[in-house]
Structure 1
């Protein structure tokens, strides 16, 4: 079940609520009982894993690497 972020525009309460996608959005604030409780827009929290997804490096490596000040801190020194 997804977790939705809600906020009350009247009292300022912010709350995360786990509910089904088919459930009606909440509108009544549990703190002040006014109809000013609404969903907030948030960034999705998922990660792509598996073959074909390059999370930490690029598909094509750069042709040349700039000189590093010390060989121990250069990421391409271990290759």
Structure 2
């Protein structure tokens, strides 16, 4: 349930109220009892930050880590910079 912020236009009283999304907005101020209460628009109480928090969310089966899978596939396709070993007895 979200926390809504309200302000009374008559007396300036501000309050927060935990309500369901389907609940009707409050109208009467608890301080002065005037029907001048209005809901304010405020920032969310949390923020999703950082890299990759979504990487494993909402994915199923073998699609859990797409970034690691694509990096591993890129490594397998890239040519190796190490020289191949020479066989003994081979002519140079």
Same-fold call, TM > 0.5? yes
Distance in 2, matches of 1:12 and 1:43, equals 20
5+ residue gaps, structure 2? 56-92
Q: Give the superposition deviation at 1:45.
A: 2.2
Distance 2:38 2:54 in 1: 38
Note the 1:67-78 alignment, pairs <5 A: none
Q: Return 5+ residue gaps in structure 1 as ranges.
A: 53-79
Aligned residues between the structures: 52
> Which structure shows the bigger proportion of residues in helix conformation?
2
Tell which structure's C-alpha radius of gyration is larger: 2
- With normalisation by structure 2, the TM-score equals 0.52
TM-score (norm 1): 0.59
- Provide the residue aligned with 1:24 in structure 2: 24
